[in-house]
Amino acid sequence: MQRMNYQIIVAAGSGSRYGGNMPKQFCDLNGRPLLMTTIERLHKCDSESEIIVVLSLDMTDEWRQMSDEYSFAIKHTIVVGGATRAASVKNAIDHIERSTCGTPGWISIHDAARPVITPKLFKAIVDGLDGYDGALPACKLSDSIRRIETTGSVAVDRSLYRSVQTPQIFHADILIDAYRQPLRPEFTDDASVMEAAGYTNLCLVDGDPHNIKVTNPGDMAVAELYLSLL
């Protein structure tokens, strides 16, 4: 049977840190909603895989209208999200399990709010899958780090830590199994879901400092700058 790979883009968050009356993934980036750039760039990374975009129920009609307005033509499937990021991913995985038309190969999960994803980083992550349960991009820290304690805070050795980005890519059968466990609030990414299910053989690939997650006001201008440098 033919092998099918999937790219899940999670875009069902409310983006409360960004402010404004619209979640950040729909705010203007280079003259159109940010999410369009993210989908387009992931399609450039791998044009063969099925793209699944997870949206909150109240944004699905609006997104369809935006797609018409901007004549956005990249084929994608819309799945309705859940209350947390992990619940949104789970809904997309349920869709894959229901609709697979070939043996699932790998599943990539990417935050909608990271539009500066490059084919070079994507390929490094796919290559990193070989011999591992999954692969994810991670960056060394440049700031000093302190751990907050009840009595104050304490300096920690930053060389022991990495900040983790997306896309995170996993063998489909393993990821599907990991998402069968009850979801917990501390699952902020998919590697943490995998690890809790016992799939700890994860390959850390060098992340890209330009692969930022648009989170705070001002990040959009930075993302535009980084895109202009590609």
| Residues binding ligand C5P (CB under 6 A) | 10-13, 25, 54, 81-85, 88, 111-113, 213
List the Cα angle 56/220/48 in 5-degree steps: 60
Measuring CA to CA, which residue among 191, 213, 19, 13 is closest to residue 117? 213
Which amino acid, residue 13? G
Beta carbon nearer to ligand C5P, 81 or 128: 81
Nearer to ligand C5P, 53 or 132 (CB): 53
- Minimum separation from the CB atom of position 139 to ligand C5P (A): 16
Question: What span, in angstroms and rounded, lies between the C-alpha atoms of 164 and 179?
Answer: 20
Q: Cβ closer to ligand C5P: 3 or 17? A: 17
Shortest approach of ligand C5P to residue 98 CB, angstroms?
19
C-alpha span between 70 and 92 (Å, rounded): 25
Q: Rounded to an integer, what distance in angstroms lies between the CA atom of residue 134 and that of residue 173?
A: 11
CB of 216 to ligand C5P, least distance (A): 11
Provide CB contacts within 8 A for 70, sequence distance 6+. Answer: 32, 33, 36
> Shortest Cβ contact with ligand C5P: which residue?
13
Question: Which residue's CB is nearer to ligand C5P, number 132 or number 168?
Answer: 168
- With respect to ligand C5P, which residue has the nearer C-beta, 102 or 217? 217
Stated as kind and residue range, the H or E segment containing 152 is strand 152-156
- Residues recorded for the chain: 230
Least distance to ligand C5P, CB of residue 180, Å? 19
Name the token pair of 67.
């797609």
Q: How far is the CB of 50 from ligand C5P (least distance, A)?
A: 18
Angle ∠(97,83,218) on CA atoms, nearest 5 = 110
Would you say 52 or 176 has its CB closer to ligand C5P?
52
Least Å distance between CB 109 and ligand C5P? 9
Closest to ligand C5P by CB, 112 or 178: 112
Min CB(131)–ligand C5P separation in Å: 28
Q: Which tokens hold the place of 175?
A: 């990821």
The H-assigned helical ranges of 1-128 are 34-45, 57-69, 85-99, 119-128
Q: Tell me if 52 sits within 8 A of 11, measured CB to CB.
A: no
